[in-house]
Amino acid sequence: MALPEDDLTAAGAGRRRVLLSGLSIALAATLPARRLLAATTEAPRSLSFVHTHTGEHLSATYFQSGAYDDAALTRINVLLRDFRNEAVHPIDPQLLDALHVLRCQCGSSEPFQIISGYRSPATNATLRGKSVASGVAEHSLHMEGRAIDIRLPGLATRQLAVQARALQVGGVGYYRVSDFVHVDTGRVRLWGDPVGT
């Protein structure tokens, strides 16, 4: 029995949605974050955070209708401020995009636990002065709002590091003893503890 033309159109649209959904899943497994997000520019992007030092929580859709949401970005900037001196700095939207893709790849809906977001030059110098061996870089991308130190509940930090490294969109440091992963939007590079296989 032949379907009416409207039903054929609806059936074709349904098949296209299924194919596009499968393509999106396949892309997520193979493309670096920037190319993946370019392929899905209209899709809303949301993130949730819990700051481990301040206890503050935030869930925000920071990208929707094909554009970054300035109000949401402002709220994120405040949450990710230098909690030691309350200095606020814009956070690189590409860093947020990398976190969004990372959370999707990990299959998690949990909020990222934030250990460190923006770090003022004064705070960075103080932390670096306490111990050069601590891994605090003199020209840290934290001071540009381009780096973040995170955990993701329900996922071993080592596995989070593996997933972050697979994005190939910037630097990833894995700190096993301190139990966090550093992610930034600088050049692609890896450091810290080995993640194994």
What count of Cα atoms within 13 Å lies in the side-chain half-sphere of residue 142?
Answer: 29
Whether residue 36 is contained in a domain is answered as: no
What is each CA distance from 27 to 51, 58, 70, 104, in whole angstroms? 31, 28, 28, 12
**Is residue 22 domain-shared with residue 83, that is, in the same domain?**
no
Burial class (CB in 10 A: 0-12, 13-18, 19+), 131: exposed
Per residue in 147-183, pLDDT tens? 999 999 999 999 999 999 999 989 999 999 999 999 9
Domain, as residue range, for 186:
42-192
Looking at the chain, which runs of residues are DSSP E strands? 45-51, 57-64, 67-68, 112-116, 147-151, 171-175, 180-184, 189-192
Give yes or no for a contact between 190 and 172, defined as CB atoms under 8 angstroms apart: yes
pLDDT (0 to 100) of residue 36:
53
Whether residue 166 is contained in a domain is answered as: yes
What tokens appear for 168 in the block? Answer: 């190939």
pLDDT (0 to 100) of residue 136:
74
Per residue in 76-131, pLDDT tens? 999 999 999 999 999 999 999 999 999 999 999 999 999 999 999 999 888 877 76
Work out how many domains the chain is built from and give that number: 2
- This prediction's pTM: 0.78
